[in-house]
Amino acid sequence: MLPLSSQVINLLAAILLLLAFAMLTQRRILSLINLFALQGLTLALSTAVVAWSTGQSHLYWSALVTFALKVVVLPWILHRLIRRLNVKWDVETLLNIPTTMLIGIVLVILAFNLALPISQLAGTITKSTLGIAMASMLLAFLMMITRSKAVPQVIGFLAMENALFFAATSATYGMPMVVELGIALDVLVGMIILGVFFFQIRERFDSLDIRHLEKLKEE
């Protein structure tokens, strides 16, 4: 019987996977951003629990940075972006939602299998959650591929980064602080650049439909 902290971490990991699926099948942009914020919250909570149960205090800082960035700043930027771009439509997907879900399940099974040998080697209390981290990453990747509008693709990208962060926490108790700060900085700068970029696209095409951006083909 696992100690309480491990149970909580397992539960949070399961919620993370659930949120990844929920984002995959979500139709509305607003809910997508809120789910992303929720995912960030789950991530911060699980990091904090790991910090508490293993006594690694640098993880508290990590959890704080995650919270500040992914629950507060990034969703705020995204909300502002979609308000100013006026893009609250229903998301169109390339495949219909039940098919996407089935493919998602296949990817989850794949990820679990792939992560098994590594989790057996890990020395952390959270090693079994590496499979969930990989599965979330693959699901975020699937979400990026099956969307045809710009903002959901970007959210998929950010969700992928979330999953990677979780992988780092579950396999190795987090990367060194300086690296994590660098990654956070990259993500933030990336978001800002994307914000600027969206305006440029919108200015040009009057729409954020990615299909406008598929004209450059091989001749």
Partner 1 sequence: MEIFFVLGSPLLGGVLLSLWGHRKFAAELNSLMSVATFAAAAALTVRVISDGPMITPDEQFFVDPLNVFLVALTAFVSMTTSLFSRPYMRIEQAHGKLTDARLRLYHSMYQLFSFTMLLVLLTNNMGILWVALEAATLTTVLLVSLYRTPASLEAAWKYFILCGVGIAQALFGTILLYFASERVLGSGGGALLWTHLQHVAGSLEPTVMSLAFVFLLVGYGTKVGLVPLHNWLPDAHAEGPTPVSAVLSGLLLNVALYALIRCKVLVDGALQTPFAGNLMMGFGLLSVVVAAFFLSRQRDIKRMFAYSSIEHMGLTTFAFGMGGPIASFAGLLHMTVHSLTKSAIFFAAGHAAQKSGTQIMDDIRGLIKVNPTIGWGLMLGTVAILGMPPFGVFASEFLILTSAMRQQPWATPFLLVSLGVAFAAIFSKVQPMVFGDTNAKRLPHPPALVPVFAHLLIVLLLGLYIPPYLADWYRQAAKLIG
Partner 2 sequence: MISASGVAAQITELFLAVALAPLMTGWVNQCRAWLQNKSGPGPLQPYRMLGKLFQKESVIAYGASPLFRITPYILFGGMCLAAAIVPTLATDLPFNTAADAIALVGLFALVRVFISLAAMDIGTAFGTLGARREMMIGFLAEPALLMVLFTASLISQSTSLSITVGKLLQMDLAIYPSLAFAGIAFTMVLLAENARIPIDNPATHLELTMIHEAMILEYSGRHLALIEWAASLKLFVYACIGIALFLPFGIAQGGDSLGLILALPVLVAKLAVGGALLAVIETVSAKMRIFRAPEFLGTAFLLAVLGMLVHFLLES
Q: By the criterion CB under 8 A, which residues form the site for partner 2?
A: 1-2, 7-8, 10-11, 13-15, 17-18, 21, 25, 97-98, 101, 104-105, 108-109, 112, 128-129, 131-132
Classify 174 as helix, strand or coil: coil
Gap between the Cα atoms of 95 and 110, Å rounded: 20
Q: What minimum distance in Å lies between the beta carbon of 14 and partner 2?
A: 3
Q: What minimum distance in Å lies between the beta carbon of 22 and partner 1?
A: 21
CB 151 within 8 A of CB 82: yes
CA atoms within 13 A on the CB side of 41: 11
Residues near partner 1, by CB under 8 A: 114, 117-118, 121-123, 137, 141, 144, 150, 153, 157, 160-161, 164, 167-168, 171-173, 175-179, 182-183, 185-186, 189-190, 193-194, 196-197, 200-201, 203-205, 210, 212-216, 218-219
User: Which of the listed partners (partner 1, partner 2, none) does 2 bind, with a CB threshold of 5 to 8 Å by partner kind?
Assistant: partner 2
Residue among 32 and 194 whose Cβ is closer to partner 1 = 194
Gap between the Cα atoms of 16 and 33, Å rounded: 15
Within 10 Å of residue 33's Cβ, how many Cβ atoms?
A: 24
The enclosing H or E element of 44 equals helix 29-54
